[in-house]
Amino acid sequence: MKRARAEVLSVRRLGAYHAITLVAPEIAERARPGQFISVAVPPGRAYLLRRPFWVHAASRRGGWAGTFEFAFDVRGPGTAWLARRPSHTSLDVIGPLGRAFAYPRRLRTCLLVGEGHGAAALQFLAEELRARGRRVDMLIGGATLEEVFKPIEAKRLSTNLAIVTRDGSLGDRGRVIDVLEERAARWGTEVVYAAGPRDVLRGVARFCRERRIPAQVALEERMGCGTGLCFGCAVPVARTDGTGFDHLRACVEGPVFNAARIVWDRWGGTEDAPAAPLSAG
Amino acid sequence: MPRPLPVDLGGLALRSPIVVASGCAGTGKEVGPLLEPAGVGALVSRSITLAPRIGSAGPRVAETPSGLLWSVGLQNPGVAAFVEEELPRLVRTGVPVIVSVTGGSLEEFVAVTSRVHVAPGVVAIEAHLDRPDEELDRPSFCARPERAAEVAGAVARMSRLPVFAKLPCLLPDLGDAARSCVRAGVHGLTVAGGLPAMGVDAERGRPALGSVAGWLSGPAIRPVALRAVFDVARAVPGVPLMGGGGVTTGPEAAELLLAGAWAVQVGTATLVDPGAPARIAEGVAAYLGAHGVSSPADLRGGLRTGDGP
């Protein structure tokens, strides 16, 4: 992990979300899909904790080399402050943090399932999987059209794409979980990657366990430090010897976990879409 | 190089008066150079029990105005795995290590201490006393001063290293507990730690923390810590005292030194910024320079009260 005073290149709207592009070559160079960064929010005492966000794009080559992007929805004073950052100011950023998604060694047909801002973690993954010659299908959703994360980008990145919204304003009406079985069967899915609220991840894990499809999930859990110091972001993960579970830290041992090893009944987790990616806003 | 600010805690020499508080230092492999080890006097390990503990269910943290609400439930690998794997890594960070020992019984405190005090690289022991006394079925070893002293004294007799008894800021008679522990033979005291607290998520009708009850840390508790440190420093003058609670800047650390602390523990600020302890130490150096004071020890208890100059 690196720490940087990163220059804000731009802050822009992405549907319901805001996206910030930062100049931070050491972080952009190292970031992998599934990893996150943490950003300090306004100097002062009222809101202390750094806010964690998925990295959804990182440029290592070309005109944008050394930049990366993260997205969030404004739900609290920290994210509201971030959304107002003028270009060319700087942010105190630590990253990349956490364990990235593992790429499949053999399997070729990947389905990326995301809902809400969680889908941000998958955009970067789609790029990297394609670069490794894997087929990428995507199933993304949100409450409304505005909450579907970068649908045009998803179209560009995927061989097959399904979009669902709870209100039916884009794609089919429903939740991603409602159409997972049918799409996975139709597309011949061999491996699943998922990100989003707890109920989505849990549904993905159950489906994949039944079908014996390997699945990795990128979790959102409330974090204290994001760097592994405080043991605040505990996720119950089954021991490999079958003797129960341990609490692993989402920030260093995750946020990507093997879906089959999460003890879902014991994960307090974030009940539903949290205020900001991984954090309290 | 940061300016050295040596302090002497009754024979325990530290290069800086700023110490990373228990539960905020990780396991030695997390933040690496971001901790800026050269500026840090010592780190206190997470609290270690005899057997491994998986800790409490999440959520374990919640943000409150100027504070961090938390409950980790003493998650730790148990003393054997700690000494084998985690402690050597903590020692390799280059920051002197104080090990926090705890237990549910006097026997457990002593057993953990017996494994830790001979381990290479440890400079002191901190006995974390504010946790349930399972032996006497009381909410805390600190519920009665004589019980806190009994346990702290047993740890002190077992240990070849200096032992600091860690007491919470909120006790009916903190000074009495401090005096009892000192009489029982501890080298020094730590007065720090979260205040009992909880949070409620009204939207979901649920407690904010998985364990329901938790602790409040961060700037919100600093005035409480100041009062506690001031009271203990007056109760046991001349006894090494580490104080902590919500410190995020050099001048705030100086406040605790003026109130009577010999060294200052920094917890929540380290979680927000792993470089905070070193930065706070630099802030203390700047404060000393600006006030024409040569050493942190010269601030100790220098609070001008009553009719003083």
Give the pLDDT confidence score for residue B155 in this predicted structure: 98
Record the pTM: 0.93
Give CA–CA dist A60/A71, Å, rounded: 19
Which residue stretches of B82-125 are H helix? 87-92, 106-116
Give the pLDDT confidence score for residue B2 in this predicted structure: 57
Nearest CA distance, A96 vs chain B (angstrom): 12
Residue B4: band (very low, low, confident or very high) from pLDDT cuts 50, 70, 90: confident
Q: Which of B58, B272, B275 sits opposite A49 (nearest CB)?
A: B272
Give CA–CA dist B253/B230, Å, rounded: 13
Give CA–CA dist A107/A109, Å, rounded: 6
Q: Least CA distance to B271: which residue of chain A?
A: A225
Amino acid at A131: A
SS3 A118: helix
Question: Taking CB atoms and an 8 Å cutoff, what residues of chain A touch B27?
Answer: 228
Question: Taking CB atoms and an 8 Å cutoff, what residues of chain A touch B31?
Answer: 1, 227-229
Contact assignment for B72 to A280 by CB distance below 8 Å = no
Give the pLDDT confidence score for residue A75 in this predicted structure: 86
Give the pLDDT confidence score for residue A276 in this predicted structure: 38
Instruction: Compute CA B241 distance to the chain's CA centroid, rounded to the nearest angstrom.
Output: 10
Rounded to two decimals, the ipTM of the complex is 0.93
Q: Which of A222, A228, A235 sits opposite B61 (nearest CB)?
A: A222
Edge-to-edge strands of the sheet including A135-142?
A172-173, A160-165, A135-142, A109-115, A191-195, A215-218, A256-258
Name residue, tokens 């202390």.
A48
Question: What would the pLDDT profile of B58-117 be if each residue is shown by its tens digit?
Answer: 999 999 999 999 999 999 999 999 999 999 999 999 999 999 999 999 999 999 999 999
* Least confident residue range of A60-64, B146-150, B217-221: A60-64
